[in-house]
Amino acid sequence: MQPRDRLVFPLDVPDLETARIWIDRLAGEVGVLKVGLELFTSAGPDAVRAVHASGAKCFLDLKLHDISATMASAVRAAAKLGVEYLTVHAVAAPAALTAVRDAADGSKTRLLAVTVLTSLDAEELEAIGLAGPPAAAVERLARLAVRHGIDGLVCSPEECAALRRTLADDVLLVVPGIRPAGSARGDQARVATPGRARREGADLLVVGRPIRHADDPVAAARAIVAEIAEANA
């Protein structure tokens, strides 16, 4: 995997017209473009097709969480679109995780289980009944997902190194909350620089605002790719 293939840029925009601007600007700089809830709700499968037309891989970030049959049907629909990555929530539990694994079988789509959102800290986890440090919840949910055949995990930089030590090498680790040195945290509670995340075992690094809000987004993306390449060396 080349350094640029490890960089994921989220198309967190309200409509397809704006998404196309960012696709045209960054498709040559990043390997993966992420279509999330806002854009998919607005533009639907056309957003995925626009990403594919640019030559980039599509990461469909819908964080599916429903009854098993509904989740499996959604996975089959996403697989028909040819998306490279699709997110589900690990807290959907064993039956649903098994169902989505079976639904994706034979397709190119790799399933990623969201463990604990990077915006959550210990206080917020306790408020929803998951008392204890985020790392403990992440580990429990990660083991559950991998045990039921999910291809990879979404976790914060703080849990990445521990998961890489304990999980098989072929388990993908996808890490949001990436902030180059000097960048604002925004609404992310658990963050790291691109170099640190890569050195600690992240396979894909999701970087949004530090690129989108940069004076020169292309230069910002290139700098992050360079940092990833340096960490690979």
Residue 187 in this model has a pLDDT that exceeds 50? no
Give the CA count within 13 Å in the CB-facing half-sphere of 53: 10
What number is the average pLDDT over the span 48-76?
98
Determine the 3-state secondary structure of 176 from DSSP.
coil
pLDDT bracket for residue 201 (50, 70, 90):
very high
| Structure confidence at residue 126 (pLDDT) | 86
Strand partners, 154: 114, 174
Say whether 87 sits in a helix, a strand or coil: strand
Number of Cβ within 10 Å of residue 139's Cβ equals 19
What is d(CA 84, CA 78) in angstroms, rounded to the nearest whole number? 9
pLDDT at 136 over 90: no
* Residue 182 pLDDT exceeds 80: no
Distance, CA of 174 to CA of 112 (rounded, Å):
8
Taking only the tens place, the pLDDT of each residue in 64-88 is 999 999 999 999 999 999 999 999 9
Predicted pLDDT at 213: 93
pLDDT of amino acid 212 = 95
Residue with token string 């800290």: 121
Of the candidates 34, 57, 63, 80, the residue annotated as catalytic is 63
Task: Indicate if the pLDDT at residue 45 is higher than 60.
Answer: yes
pLDDT of residue 44: 98
pLDDT at 232: 82
80 a catalytic residue: no
Domains, the chain, with CATH or none: 3-232 (3.20.20.70)
Spell out a b/e string for 94-109, using b for 16 or more CB atoms within 10 Å of the CB, else e: eebbbbbbebbeebeb
Mean pLDDT along residues 156-169: 89
Q: How confident is the model at residue 188 (pLDDT cuts 50, 70, 90)?
A: very low
pLDDT digits (tens, 9 = 90+) for 104-123: 999 999 999 998 886 777 88
The mean per-residue pLDDT over the stretch 163-181 comes to 90
Whether 18 shows a pLDDT value over 50: the answer reads: yes
pLDDT at 191: 56
Interval 90-105: pLDDT, tens? 999 999 999 999 999 9
Question: For residue 6, what pLDDT is reported?
Answer: 97
- For residue 179, name the pLDDT band (cuts at 50, 70, 90): confident
